Structures are given as structure tokens and as C-alpha cells.
Amino acid sequence: MPLLIHDARVLSMPIGREPARGAAMRDLGVIDGGWVLIGDDGLVDRVGTGTPPVASIRIDARGRVLMPALIDAHTHACWAGDRWSEWARKRAGEPYLSILNSGGGIMSSVRSVRGSTREDLSRTTALRLQRMARVGTGTCEVKSGYGLSTEAELRMLGAIDDASAACVAQIGTVATCLAGHAIDPGCPDFIARTLRETLPAIAAARPGTTMDLYIEQGAWMGDDAVRFVATSLALGCPVRAHVDQFTRSGLLADLIGMGVRSVDHLEASSASDLATVAHSGAFAVALPATGFALDMRFMDARRLLDEGGTLVIASNANPGSAPGLGLPFAMQLAARFMGLTTAEILRATITNAAHLLGVAAHVGSIEPGRRADLMLLHDTNEDALVHGLPSGAPGLVLHAGRAVNPDEPGFEATP
């Protein structure tokens, strides 16, 4: 049945054909006293002001903010086991790279995933996706990367597909193959095998899949990282790269020149590095929850935006360096530690995230024909979403016009 939400502060956030940069980061397309009509097909039918149309079900927003659902463009939500035991070592001052080199960190999750079935991975991933949806995420990227073999990576990607199908009424998903995560110490020719076998097998089984790699000490570095990118691109696969998290790689200019789609982390990047990214067509993906959890270092997102860059903010949800599922928390950290405004944070977590994931034709704004992935906040001011503290669902969450969390108090629908 058609649903009408009326008397709302509508953040329409027109999305356009290009990601938001410069002045566009500050424009949320606000419609005060607006209404949105959602059709039976789960799409936005009309948006307007004044006397609203007749609808079978109505929700009086009472001046509260109605905005597009969030889009989480960088997560590792498919994993097995846990890594809570490592936190005592981190709090005692042991660096993350030391934990990784001793067989912990990513490799701990690799061992757990290799011992899990596709069904186990699908079930736990679906539960995480459902929890993400309830706190406002309408579309979520999910990476593989804890398999580090052709068979295990394909198993993870299959599990992500299964979880996506199980949660299709609550959240949309985009799968990424992080075949270049850690270096498997149990496989002496791991790098050569990944380039020769794993990447071609993934590309053959799933043409056009985005590939990802982690460029860092103890992981992929230098010429090996460049070969990973070149091989993936030659196979027709876009590439994203984790880079400059703990140490400056010196590879950003090369990666940009090769045409990587995004560079993620950038906590250790120099001012000139950020300028290089900002003046390119690549997305810069900030992951503030990781900085908060590990070492209180954050991408200089203010500098990147002032240089005209394309910023995305994501949760980096994973079992080790960002053990949480809520994108709103990452947004709140961005407000406190990155010098960003509310509008910039919303554009980075919705508009630009949609463009990065290739879903901007369908979601990310409140415009006719778009899927009605929406949030009706508890508050009349969008500042509450980015300046508050984690406190559960920020409001009523809709996916394709249907409530994901219908038990959330304060949003009674009337005939």
C-alpha cells in the first residue's frame, strides 16, 4: 500500500551523475514542511510541499528529519571467530603490525574462516547485515579477504551472496574480493599464486568483480602491489586499495596513475599525497573507527576536501581494528576528529558512497524513481545524527518503503 510521510524536514540530497565535491558537499537539498509519497513498488513516487496527496498509510513526521538511508562503502562484515583476546595486547602497547607478524590480526581470522562452511559464514554475515540495517544502513559493501586461497575466497564471496539474498528485504549489498589482504606465511609462493591463480579464477567466476588489496608492511608492498593492481585491471576488474594506514607507502601517485577506484585509510599520508588524491578521480575513503580503536590517527579529511577531493566515510566493520557495525558511530567520530560539517559527513556517507559502490542510479537520494531507502530520525535537526553519541537506532529505517525496525517507538502509522 502507498505510504505517505508528511510534515518532515526532508533532506532530498539530489545525487546527480558525479560524486559531490566542493560546494556540492554543503548542499543537502532541504525541503522544510515536506512530504514524500512511496508507491507499492517501494520507490519514491513524489516529493513536495503543501497539501499532501492521499495515501493508504500515513506517518506524521512532526517536523523530524527524513533523509536517505546510509551507505557503508567499506566493511569486512563476513568473518568467523573473534579476536577479542588481542585487545589486551593492543592496550599494553603492542603495535597492530607486531600482532599481525606474530600470526594474529588478519591471519587469526583467516584460520577461522578456513575452518568454516559457506553456510556458517552466510548465517553470521546475515545477522551482521540485519544489525547494520536497524541502525540506518540501506546498502553495505562486504569484502572477502579472510580466505587467502582461491577456494576460500570463492567460498566467502558465495556466503556474501547467500547473506545478501537472505537480507534482501532489509539491506542491499555489494561484494568486493579482497584477495590481496595479508600474506599467507604458510604458502611460500603466495604472491605469485595469487596473481597467477586466484585473481584469474575470481575474474572468471565473477566477471567485473572489484578487487582490493592491503598495502602495508607485512602485507602487499612495492612492486608486488603494483603487479596486483595491473593484473586485476587487465582481467577487467576495478581495483580498490587499503593504503597508508600505519606507514606511508609512497605508492599513491602510482596507484592513482594506474586508475584505482578508491584509496582507503590514508592516516599516514602526507599533505602532498592527499593533494594528489584530491586532484584525481579516485575516491578517498576515511575509516575513523579504526583510528579511534587503534591509535587515534585519522585521515586529514579537512585538507582533502579543501583541496577539492572526493571523500567517503565508512565503518570498516571488522573483527579486529574496528569491531563494530554502526556507520553512525564513524560519522560521529568524523565530526569530532576530522573537522567536518554535518552536511559534508552526510554527503560523504551517502552520496559519494553510492557513487563509489556503483549504486547511485538507484539509491542515495529522495527523488522520484529512487528506491525508498530512508531514515526518519527521532530529531528535527540532522546535527543530532553526527554530534550525538551511539544510542541505538537513530530513527525509523525503511528499505524499499518497508520498515526494517517497525518496533522503534515514536513512529506510529495511521490509515
- Same domain flag for 268 and 350: yes
Examine the pLDDT at 33 and tell me if it is beyond 90.
Answer: yes
Question: How many residues are present in the chain?
Answer: 415
Residue that terminates a domain, selected from 357, 373, 390: 357
Per-residue pLDDT band for 18 (boundaries 50, 70, 90) equals: very high
- Same domain flag for 242 and 318: yes
CATH of the domain at 12: 2.30.40.10
Per-residue pLDDT band for 342 (boundaries 50, 70, 90) equals: very high
Per-residue pLDDT band for 100 (boundaries 50, 70, 90) equals: confident
Name every residue whose Cβ is closer than 8 Å to that of residue 266 and which is 6 or more positions away in sequence: 243, 244, 273, 274, 277, 284, 286, 299, 300, 304
Our count of domains for the chain comes to 2
- Same domain flag for 193 and 335: yes
* Bridge partners, 324 (sequence order): none
Q: How far apart are CA 202 and CA 238, in angstroms?
A: 13
- Same domain flag for 193 and 56: no
Residue that terminates a domain, selected from 311, 330, 357: 357
Query: DSSP assignment, residue 50?
Result: S
Number of Cβ atoms within 10 Å of the Cβ of 245: 28
| pLDDT, tens only, 276-285 | 999 999 999 9
- Same domain flag for 18 and 88: no
- Same domain flag for 345 and 378: no
Q: Three-state DSSP class for 204?
A: helix
Q: How far apart are CA 58 and CA 64, in angstroms?
A: 14
Place of cell 525541503: 31
Per-residue model confidence (pLDDT) at position 106: 85
- Same domain flag for 239 and 155: yes
Residue that terminates a domain, selected from 317, 340, 357: 357
Name every residue whose Cβ is closer than 8 Å to that of residue 405 and which is 6 or more positions away in sequence: 133, 134, 393, 396, 397
Residue-number span of the structural domain to which 49 is assigned: 3-69+364-414
Per-residue model confidence (pLDDT) at position 99: 78
- Same domain flag for 345 and 386: no
- Same domain flag for 328 and 197: yes
Q: Is the dihedral of CA 391, 13, 209, 126 positive or negative?
A: positive
- Same domain flag for 219 and 278: yes
| pLDDT, tens only, 179-235 | 999 999 999 999 999 999 999 999 999 999 999 999 999 899 999 999 999 999 999
- Same domain flag for 228 and 136: yes
Across the chain, mean pLDDT equals: 96
Per-residue model confidence (pLDDT) at position 88: 83
- Same domain flag for 140 and 19: no
